[in-house]
Structure 1
Amino acid sequence: MTETVVVLGAGYAGAGAIMSLEDALGEDTDLVWVSDNDYHLVLHESHRCIRDPSVQEDVTIPIESIKSPSTRFIQGEVTGLDCDDREVSLADGSTVAYDYALVTLGSQTAYYGIDGLEEHSLTLKSLDDAFEIHDQVKEAAREATADEPAQVVIGGAGLSGIQTAGEIAEFRDMHHAPIDITLVEALEEIFPGNDPELQGALRKRLLERDIEISTDDPITEADAEEIHFQSEESLAHDVFVWTGGITGRDAMGDASLENEHNRVNADATFETSDDRVFALGDSAIVDQPDGPCPPTAQAAWQAAEVAGGNVARALHGQPLSEWTHEDKGTVVSIGDAAVAHDVVGVPINTFGGPAAEVLKKGIAARWIRDVGGTARAAQAWSDL
């Protein structure tokens, strides 16, 4: 009897898992891939579209270029998962039956109950989000003057916030646009939880790009014109981008799976509280020896191969493999510049300059090559 394996999501975890499953499953298995979009977005490079929307051609890879002809693709928004009936619900009212499901739906922006934050901010979780930031920054700059520059504020100084600020600075400088950029962070330092040496290197390069940094003052409220802080200070904005945190997708809210804020709990084999459902990537909290796996593209790439193999092993009644995340280092872009830290095989702990810039490009190009082919990676190189 043919069994059906369904993969939900086309991010790093989903695309990687599909390739792993295609290698591991036999012809007697029906492999189904479900995603909102008919392309895979290289999300950690999507901020490049803030500067130049045409970069979308380099950071999107069609699903048909990734999957094999035997894998069925269904484009649709996942709205629910019924573990009892083993069905996935889609926004159009249809359902997809499964014997095993692999949840890689990614995440959505967390607003932490801050009054007005969702209504008055932009996010960077999709290609359309990047286009919207571009359009609003461009419009604000058009209406600004040297005496009254446009005020662009980025809330949250993690990876997305820093890279967003860097791309807006590139746009400003390319077009000689009157724009002031402020990066705000609730905690004491940018890139919270990371090595102080890396934090310092990033701060230095942000300041060199005329990006103002404000830390240690949480946002308490936002409205159409101002952002208000715990210190009772306020900051005017023409464009406000919020990148301050993630939570799980609403589709997992009613699934009978153990979860935290809709991010599904999974152990090191990617099994969830239902032995027919596996989860990884941003949509999951994957148990690791030193705490939960970080919700990064690097971790999703690594995990996908093992997760796909484990679904195949479960289907065949074989023992599952445990996965351990290996941190291979961090590379962050600030516009065309980059900072690298603790990179495996590199004797220098933290460095910038051309070496870091080439490394950042190389990481993105390698992923594009793996899922889309060498020619596509070569074509994208100049825009990464």
Structure 2
Amino acid sequence: MADSLVVIGTGYAGTKAVQQLEQNTSGVNITWIGENQYHLVLHESHRIIRDPTIRQKITIPVKNIKSTDTNFIEGEVTNIDTEARSVELSNGNTIPYDYVLVAIGSQTAHYGIPGLNDYSVTLKSLEDALTIHKRIFTETNLESSEKPTQVLIGGAGLSGIQVAGEVAKLRDEAGISIEITLLEALDEILPGHSSDLQKSVRKQLIKADIDIRTGNPLSKAGDEYIHLKNDKKLSYDILIWTGGITGHDIMESIDVEKEHNRIKTDTTFKTSDDRIFTVGDAALVENGENPVPPTAQAAWQAADVAANNIERSLQNKPLRHWTYEDKGTLISIGDKAIAHNVSNIPFSTFGSYPAQFLKKFVAARWIAGLTSWYHASSAWSVL
């Protein structure tokens, strides 16, 4: 009887792993499970806030990615029964497995801040981006130019900065009255990144007329105001929260070792259960003192090794270890872009057209790898 492999998730890691498994396994039944019948190029999803029509360029139908032999199931996973070796779906169906790869991604962390989950919008899906676009125009239409719409963005990491830049560009192109405030609990934007990159990004944010406030964590959210740790209140019309990630709620029920609802693993991606592997944001991968960062580039790099190690497990071969390689940072602020420490480029931090080109090229290369360069070229103008 053929072995059964189940891959959960249509994000970067799951999508690439499926293609790797298709190419390098034979006589194996692959089942791919996802909540949507498309892959979203998530690191470009902020573009949809400005122009919803580009969703057609950065969503790729599953049928264009997988082979005809792979069985795709659209559904929500509710549990993995490690004793029965089955994946349970919300509709009551169960999918048996010999090995399962959990690549379900993450959800936005609200850190137990009162009211934040109830009153904020996140950016983890196509629907989130469309909601933000709609809310901007709904709220703006209710206000006069004398009372600008207040958009607060919590979290000044990559996602929060790109959202702020896109809202600013939408404001300028549409000629609508919006005041944008970017909040960061720590003392500087892009925490953990170099001061050169922080300074360059801050300069572009200021040019885009975005108010930056750092060093004062959000402590409570209401339907019209947020409260900061120093007891100051800020009013808002739209609150967008991008302040970190945690594992999906379904992780709680999976009987493997976890931390902060993310599955712990070493650099082979095997978990405390020999039949379960995990990769991407769902995984908390050991990497010296700090775990591997939950980024798109890390997921891309890791997926091949995770898939290969499932193949090796089927063949009773030793598992490979993966070494994370930071290939630099690319960040967009509206139509501007900044690059930092990009591999094989002799400049540390730079912007202008070269950075814009690199940002586009990275996204286009990913799309081309899943489908074709023809598809990637059609998306070039919106990336």
CA offsets 1:129-186 (integer angstroms, 9 cap, x no match): 0000000011122222221100000000011100100110111001110000000000
Partner of 1:118: 117
Partner of 2:215: 216
| Residue type at the aligned position of 1:331 | L
Task: Trace 1:11-26 onto structure 2 (pairs within 5 A).
Answer: 11-26=11-26
Partner of 1:53: 52
What's the Cα RMSD here? 0.8
| Residue type at the aligned position of 1:25 | T
Task: Trace 1:1-384 onto structure 2 (pairs within 5 A).
Answer: 1-26=1-26, 28-384=27-383
Q: How many Å apart are 1:190 and its aligned residue?
A: 0.5
Distance 2:66 2:334 in 1: 32
Q: How many Å apart are 1:91 and its aligned residue?
A: 1.0
SS at match of 1:119: helix
- Contact 1:24 1:308 (8 Å CA) reproduced: no
TM-score by length of 2: 0.99
Distance 2:330 2:143 in 1: 34
Percent identity between the two aligned chains = 51
Distance 2:49 2:76 in 1: 25
Distance 1:147 1:291 in 2: 48
SS at match of 2:119: coil
Distance 2:196 2:80 in 1: 43
SS at match of 2:339: strand
| Residue type at the aligned position of 1:303 | A
CA offsets 1:268-294 (integer angstroms, 9 cap, x no match): 100000010000100010112353111
- Contact 1:310 1:320 (8 Å CA) reproduced: yes
- Contact 1:103 1:283 (8 Å CA) reproduced: yes
Q: Count matched residues.
A: 383
CA offsets 1:301-347 (integer angstroms, 9 cap, x no match): 00111111110110111111100011110000001101100011111
Distance 1:205 1:177 in 2: 20
Q: How many Å apart are 1:374 and its aligned residue?
A: 1.1
Distance 1:318 1:24 in 2: 15
SS at match of 1:347: coil
| Residue type at the aligned position of 1:212 | D
Q: How many Å apart are 1:109 and its aligned residue?
A: 1.0
| Residue type at the aligned position of 1:379 | S
- Contact 1:50 1:131 (8 Å CA) reproduced: yes
SS at match of 2:332: strand
Distance 1:186 1:102 in 2: 35
In structure 2, stretches of 5+ residues that fail to align are none
SS at match of 2:277: strand
| Residue type at the aligned position of 2:276 | V
SS at match of 1:118: helix
Question: Hey, which bits of structure 1, 4+ residues long, moved more than 6 A?
Answer: none
In structure 1, stretches of 5+ residues that fail to align are none
